[in-house]
């Protein structure tokens, strides 16, 4: 697989997805988010702080504090999250500099296609997909 994203970015998107699914004004506790999704608590806390710095989430202080989306789910693009995390932590890929024009142009074409797919996807899109999947699982559940 040519296109891969870091665990950190995957966890960030998962955290944003969970916040979008909740879609309430009640903040989500970082610890509960981590435990509900099988993520390391400390690592998720770092990620949520970075998401806050990036303008993706807001933190709410207090006993019932936690995190909420900074913008509606339909206004947060998956590509935006990918660009925020991946461009800050990734090294240039050796795959795009093979010395062979044919290979390099094919890889650039594939990367462009993948980028376009992510550019069309928002958190709202992911919520819809996730809810459809969950409904399918519930519908297919047989005792």
Ordered by start, the domain boundaries in the chain are 7-139
Give 3-state DSSP helix, strand, coil % of the chain, rounded to 5.
65, 10, 30
User: For each of the chain's 143 residues, which pLDDT tens digit applies?
Assistant: 456 789 999 999 999 999 999 876 689 999 999 999 999 999 999 999 999 999 999 999 988 899 999 999 999 999 999 999 987 544 445 455 677 888 888 888 888 898 899 999 999 999 999 989 888 877 766 55
**How far is it, in rounded angstroms, from Cα 16 to Cα 28?**
11
- The whole-model pTM stands at 0.82
- What is the token pair recorded at 48? 């949520």
**How far is it, in rounded angstroms, from Cα 91 to Cα 105?**
19
On whether the 7-139 domain is CATH 1.10.490.10, my answer is no
**How far is it, in rounded angstroms, from Cα 116 to Cα 76?**
15
**How far is it, in rounded angstroms, from Cα 72 to Cα 100?**
44
Burial environment of residue 59 by CB neighbours within 10 A (0 to 12, 13 to 18, 19 or more):
middle
Show Cβ contacts of residue 123 under 8 Å, excluding neighbours closer than 6 positions: 16, 17, 20, 69, 73, 74, 76, 78
């Amino acid at each position: 697989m040519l296109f891969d994203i870091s665990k950190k970015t995957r966890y960030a998107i998962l955290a944003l997805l969970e916040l979008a699914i909740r879609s309430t004004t009640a903040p989500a506790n970082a610890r509960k988010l981590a435990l509900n999704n099988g993520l390391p608590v400390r690592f998720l806390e770092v990620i949520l702080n970075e998401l806050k710095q990036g303008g993706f989430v807001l933190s709410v202080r207090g006993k019932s504090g936690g995190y909420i989306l900074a913008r509606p789910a339909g206004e947060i693009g998956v590509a935006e999250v990918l660009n925020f995390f991946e461009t800050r932590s990734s090294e240039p890929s050796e795959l795009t500099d093979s010395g062979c024009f044919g290979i390099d142009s094919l890889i650039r074409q594939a990367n462009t296609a993948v980028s376009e797919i992510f550019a069309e996807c928002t958190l709202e899109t992911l919520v819809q997909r996730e809810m459809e999947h969950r409904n399918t699982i519930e519908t297919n559940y047989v005792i």
